Amino acid sequence: MKAVAYFFKRIGCAALLCVGFVSAAVAQKIDSSYNNTYYQGRMELFNTLPLQKKAIVFLGNSITERGAWGELLPGVKVMNRGIGGDNTFGVLARLDGIVKAEPRRLFLLIGINDLSRGLPREVILENYDHIVAYIRTHSPKTKIYIQSVLPLYEPFTTAAYLKNKKDSILQLNVGIRKIAEKYGLPYINLHEIFADANGDLVKELTADGIHLKPAAYVIWVDFLKKRKYL
């Protein structure tokens, strides 16, 4: 996988496991897994579909996957590259297929599954930086839009790993914003439309506290259009 090799080349590793990275993994018990059966199935689908060059790509996890982007943007060439459960490691591993399509625009939203595993913010942001750098290097004409990780409505969440994540999400978004600024890319703060007065996901827009109801995607696309991102 070229994108993974590129990642280790950028951080100066002579092999896939460098001393610093291994030390961090051992100390923090980093779970970098992503290649489960669902991920594999989605990748098989992506690899079977005709390559659509110069399309608008939505790249991320289940929040992206559940968006009916093609229907929300009729007449526009769109590629939905969301995979439920995916994290920054999984996105990094599948960038080759993304850049091969030379997207016209790419909307990136990833990170909540990394946080749910308790991954250190520094590891998530380093992955994020390498994702952006790889796309810019291998598809330089692609306009990249960096989207904030969405808030949660924790009274609706049932899994323990989705509890007490508000501060972690806010801190991660600070780092994501800095990466956008580093590369001179638009940063889209989705909290402007999806967070309530307490900074939680608007409860009317979610059934489980993390995923969005269909109506929320209409709001999302309207927001992107109003900001001239679409």
What does the pLDDT profile of the chain (230 residues) look like in tens digits? 666 555 555 545 433 433 444 444 445 578 899 999 999 999 999 999 999 999 999 999 999 999 999 999 999 999 999 999 999 999 999 999 999 999 999 999 999 999 999 999 999 999 999 999 999 999 999 999 999 999 999 999 999 999 999 999 999 999 999 999 999 999 999 999 999 999 999 999 999 999 999 999 999 999 999 999 99
CATH number for position 98: 3.40.50.1110
Distance CA 161, CA 86 (A): 15
This prediction's pTM: 0.90
Total of domains in the chain: 1
The whole domain housing 157 covers 2-226
Q: What's the CA gap between 130 and 179, in Å, rounded?
A: 10
Asked whether the beta carbons of 84 and 138 are under 8 A apart, the reply is no
Q: Using CA atoms, how far apart are residues 153 and 208, in angstroms rounded to an integer?
A: 8
Residue with tokens 């692609």: 142
Which tokens in the block code for residue 177?
A: 């914003």
